[in-house]
Amino acid sequence: MGSTADRASWWRTPDLPVRSWLPAYRRQRLQGDLLAGVVVTALVIPQALGYATIAGVPVQAGLYAVPVALLAYVVLGSSPQLNVGPVSTVSVVSGSVVAAQAGGDPERAIALTIGLALMSGAVLVIAGLLRTGWVAEFLSKPIVTGFVFGLAVVIIVGEIPRLLGLPGVEGPVLSRLIATVQALPGVHPLTVVLGVVSLAVLFVGGAVAKVVPWGLLLVVGSLVASQVLGFADRGVEVVGAVPAGPPVPGLPALTTADLAALAVPAIGLALVGLAESLSAARLFAASGGYRIDTDQEFVATGAANIASGLFGGLGVAGSLSKTAAVVRSGGTTQVTSVVAALVTLAILVLFAPTLSALPRAVLAAVVVHAVWGLIDVASLRRYAQVRRNDLVAALGALLGVVVFGTLPGLAIAVGLSLLGLVYRSSRVEVEQLGRLPGEKAAWGAVTRHRSHRMIEGLQILRLDASLFWVNAASVEEQVIAIVDADPTTRAVILDLEATDQLDSTSTDMLTKLLERLRRRDVDLYLVRVLYRARVVLERAGLREAIGDDHQWRTISEAVVRARHDHGLAKPGQPLPDDARPLAPQRRPTHGQDATPST
């Protein structure tokens, strides 16, 4: 067992931010928070109903998720404005997993959805407690953009049959489109009218007056029209029975085999939800002038998912659109979420059964409108303009989702991130340096500035990226190629400032490089080695193999020493005071020490 201090470095005790912001709450903020809470509820209710249909569960599962998830985040979240609840990305991933395993059984679909929320929440909580917030940085923004774009396409294609009154179709996107086109002669006219009118209300109304809660007005208006005009009796598909009352806690009836089957999808669901949560939290933290704690966000989002699952809800995440509504309405603290939770709970208790007459076409329109903003063509254009590789990564993730499905698409997105990371890390360049004209101790790349003067008999080399196992062999071959191209080379001075740490592969390469250079009667000098790299060099025995007089703080000191060692020094030029051995005597307490210890 390690000491308490050792354990504290990899394990954290979750904070309770509510204990800080609630006692300091100012009454002047109450009016804005109350208004924002009511406004965001008007967005939450219709979207929660729509996202439940995406997830393949009854609409009440979306409503059940809202109040408990909001309250869990209020206690644990580090953002004062983030609104947590059902979101499109999490719902479609959850729905794709459940559809593959439920076999068309509605009760089993609910149990699997709840289990998925609980397990993904547990994954996030454990990840946050283990301080693995760095995982959130793994998926690049272009890949997330492409993945979400693909999800939006999948969702919209899946909702088209409901807008037309056609039976739902399973399978790949292209197969769904073909089947929908083939079934067009059987469309239900009244359902088509409802779908078109609903889309017009949401898109046109939103463009004309953004502050109006068009989604809520559409849901209420269609409910009234459905009951008065008897839409169900006229062949329009409606939601059906919705139980009254608040959600009741409980655990799903799942077998060990079910839990094993949900394990990997739960990790994927956690990753997708976290990507959306953190993007929203960071965006509004930057504009609001406050900071968020990534590890704490893991814990808070995970707790919100667990709370949702315990009360029969589906998976949740932070919502960009609803958080934006909070900010626009003047919400500044999590009191907004408390208000939204209480209003949603009141609607569940008082009005839930009335939702039974809600036409499915209206919900489909709500879903299409909600995810339409995820089709981010502008970002794809920007990636094409800034860096073509980013566009390729985004399109790869997009096509992965559309062609192969949600979870395979997520795997492709993660694979693209890995491939991009490895590719970029392997593309290290060994630059030849020369002295800047008129400067005594300034050095720059010769390839970009031919005026920089190289030192006769010396090759001063710098890596433009960190040295590690992926690019070690490439660095070795580049150094040897440079030396072999100049038979007058007597010494190599290798600048390792870009390398913050080494591994066994890179130290083995340096050992081999040292041997190959010595067979050519060429010396190796190391300069500007950071602390953690010095530790590994010491443990690998390279300090002794290279020699203390071949390890220096600056390029200029190494140049002077190498010129003296090989008879290249100017007459009367003094040696540096002494070598700077790389022995890691102590770890610096602030930042990275770029100067080897004496």
Q: Which position has the higher pLDDT, 199 or 592? A: 199
Q: Is 333 a member of any domain? A: yes
- Residues 68, 96: one domain? yes
- Residues 416, 432: one domain? no
Q: Tokens 């997105």: give the residue.
A: 413
Contacts of 368 (CB under 8 A, 6+ apart): 155, 156, 159, 163, 199
**What global pTM score does this model have?**
0.71
- Residues 132, 219: one domain? yes
Where a domain ends, among 421, 456, 487? 421
Are 154 and 99 within 8 A, CB to CB? Answer: no
- In 3D space, the residue among 547, 528, 536 whose CA is nearest the CA of residue 504 turns out to be 536
Are 312 and 250 within 8 A, CB to CB? Answer: yes
The C-alpha atoms of residue 31 and residue 18 are separated, in whole angstroms, by 19
Domain that holds residue 433: 428-565
- Residues 344, 226: one domain? yes
The C-alpha atoms of residue 340 and residue 32 are separated, in whole angstroms, by 13
Are 274 and 299 within 8 A, CB to CB? Answer: no
- Residues 190, 268: one domain? yes
Q: How many domains does the chain have?
A: 2
C-alpha to C-alpha distances, 458 to 5, 439, 447, 463, nearest whole angstrom: 47, 18, 16, 16
Lowest mean pLDDT among 337-341, 354-358, 445-449, 488-492: 445-449
Where a domain ends, among 421, 448, 472? 421
C-alpha to C-alpha distances, 265 to 93, 143, 229, 411, nearest whole angstrom: 8, 19, 43, 10
- Residues 376, 460: one domain? no
Q: Is 227 a member of any domain? A: yes
Q: Tokens 């609803």: give the residue.
A: 322
C-alpha to C-alpha distances, 308 to 60, 66, 247, 262, 397, nearest whole angstrom: 12, 7, 10, 17, 29
pLDDT one-digit tens code per residue, 303-355: 999 999 999 999 999 987 788 888 888 888 999 999 999 999 998 888 888 88
- Residues 374, 456: one domain? no
Q: Is 172 a member of any domain? A: yes
Q: In what order do the strands lie in the sheet with 491-495?
A: 443-445, 430-435, 458-463, 491-495, 523-527, 551-552
Radius of gyration for the alpha carbons in the chain, expressed in angstroms and rounded: 31
Are 216 and 45 within 8 A, CB to CB? Answer: yes
Tell me the two tokens of residue 311: 């009360």
Where a domain ends, among 398, 421, 444? 421
Q: Is 337 a member of any domain? A: yes
The C-alpha atoms of residue 322 and residue 320 are separated, in whole angstroms, by 6
- Residues 326, 457: one domain? no
- How many CB atoms are located within 10 Å of the residue 321 CB? 17
- Residues 310, 369: one domain? yes
pLDDT one-digit tens code per residue, 21-75: 889 888 888 988 998 898 888 888 888 988 898 888 998 999 999 999 999 999 9
Are 396 and 416 within 8 A, CB to CB? Answer: yes
Q: Is 259 a member of any domain? A: yes
The predicted pLDDT at position 510 comes to 93
φ and ψ of 461, to 5 deg: -120, 145
- Residues 380, 439: one domain? no
Contacts of 46 (CB under 8 A, 6+ apart): 215, 216, 218, 219, 363, 366
The C-alpha atoms of residue 598 and residue 134 are separated, in whole angstroms, by 34
- Residues 332, 471: one domain? no
The C-alpha atoms of residue 555 and residue 456 are separated, in whole angstroms, by 15
SS3 123: helix
Q: Is 18 a member of any domain? A: no
Q: Is 329 a member of any domain? A: yes
pLDDT one-digit tens code per residue, 116-130: 999 999 999 998 898
Tell me the two tokens of residue 86: 């059902």
How many residues are given for the chain? 598
pLDDT one-digit tens code per residue, 205-238: 988 887 788 888 898 899 999 999 999 999 998 8
The C-alpha atoms of residue 59 and residue 106 are separated, in whole angstroms, by 12
The C-alpha atoms of residue 513 and residue 36 are separated, in whole angstroms, by 64
- Residues 444, 376: one domain? no
- What value does the mean pLDDT of the chain take? 85
The C-alpha atoms of residue 274 and residue 84 are separated, in whole angstroms, by 11
The C-alpha atoms of residue 171 and residue 223 are separated, in whole angstroms, by 31
Q: Is 496 a member of any domain? A: yes
DSSP β-ladder status, 443-445 and 458-463: unpaired
Lowest mean pLDDT among 74-88, 89-103, 125-139, 160-174: 125-139
